[in-house]
Amino acid sequence: MAEAAVKAQPAAEAEQELTDGFHLIIDALKLNGLTTIYGVPGIPITDFGRMAQAEGIRVLSFRHEQNAGYAAAIAGFLTKKPGVCLTVSAPGFLNGLTALAHATTNCFPMILISGSSEREVVDLQQGDYEEMDQLAIAKPLCKAAFRVLHAADIGIGLARAIRAAVSGRPGGVYLDLPAKLFGQVMNADAGAKSLVKVVDAAPAQIPAPDAVKRALDVLKAAKRPLIILGKGAAYAQADEAIKAFVEKSGVPFLPMSMAKGLLPDTHPQCAGAARSTVLKDADTVMLIGARLNWLLSHGKGKAWGEAPKKFIQVDIEPKEMDSNVEIAAPLVGDIGSCVSALLGAMGLWPAPPADWVNTVKTKREENVAKMAPRLMNNNVPMDYHGALGVLRTIIKERPDAILVNEGANTLDLARGVIDMYKPRKRLDVGTWGVMGIGMGQAIAAAVETGKPVLAVEGDSAFGFSGMEVETICRYKLPVCVVIFNNNGIYRGTDVNKTSADPATTVFVAGARYDKMMEAFGGVGVNATSPDELKRAVNEAMDSGKPTLINAVIDPAAGSESGRIGNLNPQSALKKK
């Protein structure tokens, strides 16, 4: 009977070309230039990954979704296009969600695409395979969340996701794709027509001329001005305009961690090595793509000293203004447009008062001179400074390399010691100070830029994403991981006096992380002195071979929580 019905159909209709959800998603991604996916396969997205690869999308399979998510997030930061992370339902989705929330907090454009289970079953809570209302869970943790139920809506769904991720203040977007959608069939022509190529996904947001004038008036009237560059300024890819503006202003500048290198850390106006002085003593502070969050002590309190301050803030998000302190001159718009407008309206610009500029310069030179001998020490076991002195020289000689950095002491000291020379070359833990970004960022940095990557990792920090060294070996990526192995979190010296269990902050002493890399065919090196470390890193950077160097650091060298020990709550009872 059924056979007869098929036979009876007119030939044209029976042979009409069909497409399906799988192909429409792939076509929609490609149409919008999203040609790299970071993810972990499984039901219901395994075939989708295979087909995407076959259709020319680069699909990088990870060992854990969180690392794929961090890779996608930093790909967004590096490229201004949403980084795409692909996961399975419930547990895979949740594993990716941390990275989506991280992307949103850090203002990185990212799209988390997760397969999900049958809506009818999920909504009646009948216990489907990996049942979870993923859309509802994602919503409060990202900028926008969408679900596509019909193949004909895939084009619109992806367009909405892209726009939400990159326009205004960028952030994370969740796209929920139920299993049934992938196999849904529709006419190929109608399918092609349903796709949307997003035009001008992140439109320029031009600042108001009077706001530009106000900002310049406040800056010009300053006796002790300071410019703080945040990672929003790095994201903007307005490098030339930012450099021209800072240089024309003559104002000392302080780069936040991921803004290092927008102007070289060795630039005569850089106040990085005089941070506490400039924060305390400046009378006017211009924030460019930097927020007054905890990383800047909320713009008030001890770190900011007694001197009254005026703030100028350049940010794309109007709600950022007055979030922590009063902003005397808010300048709302995208960083590129704002900085160009400032530059265009400056006219003849007077140099800032010489006594201020000289004070900053003297302080910086003093601090740099104080640090210099520590960075040249050849102690064995190595301390942080001896090891970082070597890495500092290597980055100086290889300014195009990308530095990934996480840990506590390993992070805080490396940030201060290793000078950066070019924009977007330093990637790290970001706003949350999250451990676990390391291998995901290293992989995405290598994939997106094709440049060699040096990942400087605390031994604890590395552990959060360490299994991805297999991914690095599998894709033969030019990544050199240096683990600052001090046997633990902050220090390797804690002792538990109450039971046979080790203290909560220590790891197996003398662990050989280099063996992990060897297990997957990469190069492993155990380095016990600055000289050995230098040789091994240079070799890795020259060869481009996946390498892991276990840098043996004195377990007593670090301090609790690195530079942010003051944030630890104290128990009054402890003092008894």
Ligand X SMILES: Cc1ncc(C[n+]2csc(CCOP(=O)(O)OP(=O)(O)O)c2C)c(N)n1
435 binds, among ligand X, Mg ion, none (CB under 5 to 8 A by kind): ligand X
Choices 269-277, 307-315, 427-435, 443-451 (CB under 6 A): range interacting with ligand X:
427-435
Choices 87-95, 134-142, 323-331, 434-442 (CB under 6 A): range interacting with ligand X:
434-442
User: Is residue 434 involved in binding ligand X (CB under 6 A)?
Assistant: yes
List, in order, residues 6 or more apart from 457 with CB less than 8 Å away. Answer: 404, 405, 406, 407, 410, 438, 481, 482, 483, 484
CB of residue 440 to ligand X, shortest distance in Å: 13
Quick one: 238 or 429, whose CB is closer to ligand X?
429
Residue 556 CA to residue 302 CA, distance in Å, equals 29
CB of residue 555 to ligand X, shortest distance in Å: 9
* Residue-wise DSSP of 418-484: S---STT-EEE-GGGT-TT-HHHHHHHHHHHH---EEEEEEHHHHHTTGGGHHHHHHTT--EEEEEE
419 binds, among ligand X, Mg ion, none (CB under 5 to 8 A by kind): none
First CA to last CA across the chain, in angstroms?
Answer: 88
DSSP-derived letter for residue 400 is: T
Considering only residues 200-239, where is the footprint of ligand X by CB under 6 A?
none
Using omega within 30 degrees of 0 as the cis cutoff, is the peptide bond preceding 82 cis? no
Choices 19-27, 318-326, 404-412, 419-427 (CB under 6 A): range interacting with ligand X:
404-412
Q: Read off the tokens for 512.
A: 């050989």
N residues, the chain: 576
Considering only residues 464-493, where is the footprint of ligand X by CB under 6 A?
484, 486, 489-490
User: Is residue 194 involved in binding ligand X (CB under 6 A)?
Assistant: no
Applying CB under 5 A, the residues found at the interface with Mg ion are 458-459, 486
List, in order, residues 6 or more apart from 9 with CB less than 8 Å away. Answer: none
83 binds, among ligand X, Mg ion, none (CB under 5 to 8 A by kind): none
250 neighbors 357 (Cβ within 8 angstroms): yes
CB of residue 105 to ligand X, shortest distance in Å: 13
468 neighbors 67 (Cβ within 8 angstroms): yes
CB of residue 295 to Mg ion, shortest distance in Å: 22
Residue 141 CA to residue 116 CA, distance in Å, equals 18
89 binds, among Mg ion, ligand X, none (CB under 5 to 8 A by kind): none
Residue 489 CA to residue 326 CA, distance in Å, equals 38
User: Is residue 461 involved in binding ligand X (CB under 6 A)?
Assistant: yes
CB of residue 39 to ligand X, shortest distance in Å: 21
Beta bridge partners, 113, equal 86, 175
CB of residue 489 to Mg ion, shortest distance in Å: 6
**Three-state SS at 174:** strand
Quick one: 86 or 413, whose CB is closer to ligand X?
413
Quick one: 60 or 516, whose CB is closer to Mg ion?
516
User: Is residue 352 involved in binding ligand X (CB under 6 A)?
Assistant: no
CB of residue 37 to ligand X, shortest distance in Å: 24
Quick one: 224 or 491, whose CB is closer to Mg ion?
491
Closest residue to ligand X using C-beta atoms: 458
User: Is residue 101 involved in binding ligand X (CB under 6 A)?
Assistant: no
404 neighbors 456 (Cβ within 8 angstroms): yes
Quick one: 136 or 556, whose CB is closer to ligand X?
556
User: Is residue 408 involved in binding ligand X (CB under 6 A)?
Assistant: yes
Number of residues in contact with ligand X under rule CB under 6 A: 18
Residue 251 CA to residue 543 CA, distance in Å, equals 41
User: Is residue 96 involved in binding ligand X (CB under 6 A)?
Assistant: no
Q: Read off the tokens for 185.
A: 């069939």
90 binds, among ligand X, Mg ion, none (CB under 5 to 8 A by kind): none
Residue with tokens 């030339």: 240
User: Is residue 459 involved in binding ligand X (CB under 6 A)?
Assistant: yes
Quick one: 80 or 563, whose CB is closer to ligand X?
563
CB of residue 409 to ligand X, shortest distance in Å: 4
At 553, give phi and psi (nearest 5°).
-110, 140
271-276: long-range contacts at Cβ-Cβ below 8 A with a sequence spacing of 24 or more? 271/226, 271/360, 271/364, 272/364, 272/416, 273/363, 273/364, 273/367, 273/368, 273/371, 273/416, 274/360, 274/363, 274/364, 274/367, 276/303
Choices 221-229, 237-245, 280-288, 431-439 (CB under 6 A): range interacting with ligand X:
431-439
153 neighbors 196 (Cβ within 8 angstroms): no
CB of residue 254 to ligand X, shortest distance in Å: 23
List, in order, residues 6 or more apart from 275 with CB less than 8 Å away. Answer: 254
User: Is residue 49 involved in binding ligand X (CB under 6 A)?
Assistant: no
CB of residue 416 to ligand X, shortest distance in Å: 13
Q: Which residues bind ligand X (CB under 6 A)?
A: 407-410, 433-436, 458-461, 484, 486, 489-490, 558, 562
